[in-house]
Amino acid sequence: MIEQTHLKLPDPERDHLQGAIDAPIALLEYGDYECPVCGEAQPIVREIQRRLGDDLCFAFRHFPLTNVHPHAEHAAEAAEAAGEQGAFWPMHEMLFANQDALDDESLAEYAIALGLNEERFIQDVVSGAHAERIREDFRSGVRAGVNGTPCFFINGQRYDGARALEPFLAAVAHSAIST
Amino acid sequence: MSTTTTGATPATAKKSEEQDPYRELYSKNRRKALPPGTDAPDFTLRSTPDQWLTLNEFRGQPVVLAFYPADWSPVCGDQMALYNEMLKEFHDLGAELIGLSVDGAWCHAAFARHRKLHFPLLADFEPKGEVARRYGVYRDKDGVSERALFVIDADGKIHWSFVSPIGINPGADGILSALEELQNKKPTTAKAK
């Protein structure tokens, strides 16, 4: 239900994190690389990370709406495949920066640009090597009441406010004081 | 501090009004949805311009009825798009999903094709909103149904129902919990037989 929005997150054992897990604020995003609204939120998230520095731990989980966004599943696979080669976040940035070119060929180009092992990357993406993990992300989101993307949780509490920098930053920064 | 139960203070009333961005668009009176334990009213509605679907044909398995106000709501937060992604989970729990709105069959067909929906959308079109009315979720003033969910068990009884504020996508967690409850109930009844 939409009321059940408290999550124990993020999980350092499985989540992709930027920042220390024991930072006072944890910001978790459920997102879809082909979702334009997620794309718009991306620079805002980056700016919040820049301003809060070590006080913030950011985590990203996949929530691809694959019927609406035909490239979303492979894009998520691409991020995970890059993650296998130690480049989850560079690929994450690359995908959001190129939302209008997420076909398989473009994904392979990004892997090359990031200096990844191309053959292994393509094999991972095409075979759906990380499909189960992506589905696990998706399911965890559904159980937490995620109903669309992007969906943010600040220290486990869902944030439904405006995603412009000022109110979003204020909400994130405030959670450090209140918890 | 003591509070009175006989009416909201002006401050509370104002707050709840502010929290509902749809107050200008839709009337405030929410209907009473049929509660759990009620027999789900049977119906036959168009699922495509030349096909009909009857609820009772699904007897023997749980059915999820998702009433929603209208086709063509914004994509990323769209309730039907989310449920479309959840079909595997619903099927794994033995359930079928059915969407219903007052839109006509041709409108549903275009909407389903555009969003690549893989479950039936029924046209509660003539008499308009009749099925929604029988489930207690029709908004007379607005001419659309509530955003309402019903999980119906294998015997055709309503197991769970929920009416969401009309502008809020209720997600799928409540549906999954209700279907899991039904699945957990099944072994016990089998044993009793």
Tell me: the pLDDT tens digits for A130-175?
Answer: 999 999 999 999 999 999 999 999 999 999 999 999 999 999 999 8
Distance from chain centroid for Cα B157: 15
Question: A90 to chain B nearest CA, in Å?
Answer: 25
pLDDT exceeds 90 at position B193: no
> What interface predicted TM-score (ipTM) does this complex get?
0.85
Query: Is B77 within 8 Å of chain A by CB?
Result: yes
Alpha carbon distance A2, B77 (integer Å)? 14
Q: What's the pLDDT score for residue B161?
A: 97
Identify the three-state secondary structure at position B170.
Answer: coil
According to DSSP, residue B119 is labeled: S
Chain A residues within an 8 Å CB radius of B86: 142
Q: Which residues of B touch A1 (CB under 8 A)?
A: 162, 170-171, 173-174, 177
pLDDT of residue B8: 38
Nearest CA distance, B192 vs chain A (angstrom): 32
pLDDT, mean of residues B97-125: 96
pLDDT for residue B7: 38
Which chain B residue's Cα is nearest to A4?
Answer: B173
Average pLDDT over residues B150-176: 95
Name every residue whose Cβ is closer than 8 Å to that of residue A36 and which is 6 or more positions away in sequence.
A99, B76
Test B171 with A146 for CB contact under 8 angstroms: yes
> B168 or B39: which carries more pLDDT confidence?
B39
Interface test with A, best of B18, B20, B76, B179 (most A CBs within 10 A): B76
pLDDT at B166 (0 to 100): 86
DSSP string, A110-142: HHHHTT--HHHHHHHHHHTTTHHHHHHHHHHHH
A100-123 average pLDDT score: 98
Give the pLDDT confidence score for residue B76 in this predicted structure.
56
Which of residues A178 and A118 earns the better pLDDT score?
A118
pTM of this prediction? 0.85
Mean local confidence (pLDDT), B13-25: 48
How far apart, in Å, are the Cα atoms of B104 and each of B115, B118, B127?
16, 18, 11
CA distance A176 to A170: 10
Contact assignment for A144 to B81 by CB distance below 8 Å: no
Crossing angle of helices A165-178 and A36-52, in 10° steps, is 50
Alpha-carbon gap: B126 to the closest alpha carbon of chain A (Å): 30
Predicted confidence at residue B10, as pLDDT, reads 40
- Closest partner residue to A148 among B76, B162, B176, by Cβ? B76
* pLDDT over threshold 70, residue B52: yes
